[in-house]
């Protein structure tokens, strides 16, 4: 069951067993290739490990299976960490008016706030956090 492997991967990730988590999440994707969650979690793990090329590859894999805001948010998060902070922030900010689940919107607004802080745009960061 792909859900088993997803949950297993999340538990491993929370325990900082990143290698095990990546393996479990890959197994979840093998069983359910169109599921976006295992892909996005693999991207997040690669970001934590500063494996930016692998994170971006996961974001590209995510594009056909996730809504535009999630896929673009994934790529913007990588761009912001790899020298394209201003472009990532401005591009994601344009899309942030899109509709998304409350959880996705919280994630996007938090990423935007973090980027605004790094850009020293304090008022914008506060707006995103609110």
- 92 SS3 class: helix
pLDDT band at 32 (very low <50, low <70, confident <90, very high): very high
Residue 99 pLDDT = 75
Per-residue pLDDT, averaged over 79-87, amounts to: 97
Looking up tokens 């949950």, which residue turns up? 7
Residue 115 neighbours by CB distance under 10 Å = 25
How far is the C-alpha of 89 from the C-alpha of 86, rounded, in Å?
A: 5
* 2, two tokens: 């792909």
Residue 96 pLDDT = 85
Q: What is the pLDDT of residues 93-125, one digit of tens each?
A: 998 887 788 999 999 999 999 999 999 999 999
Per-residue pLDDT, averaged over 1-22, amounts to: 98
* 12, two tokens: 């491993």
């Amino acid at each position: 069951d792909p859900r088993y492997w997803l949950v297993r991967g999340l538990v491993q990730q929370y325990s900082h067993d990143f290698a095990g988590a990546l393996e479990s999440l890959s197994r979840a994707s093998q069983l359910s290739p169109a599921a976006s969650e295992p892909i996005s979690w693999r991207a997040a793990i690669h970001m934590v490990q500063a494996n930016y090329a692998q994170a971006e590859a996961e974001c590209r894999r995510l594009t056909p299976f996730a809504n535009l805001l999630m896929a673009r948010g994934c790529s913007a998060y990588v761009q912001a960490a790899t020298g394209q902070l201003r472009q990532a922030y401005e591009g994601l900010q344009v899309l942030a008016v899109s509709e998304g689940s409350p959880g996705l919107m919280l994630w996007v607004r938090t990423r935007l706030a973090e980027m605004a802080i790094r850009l020293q745009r304090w008022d914008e960061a506060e707006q995103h956090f609110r």
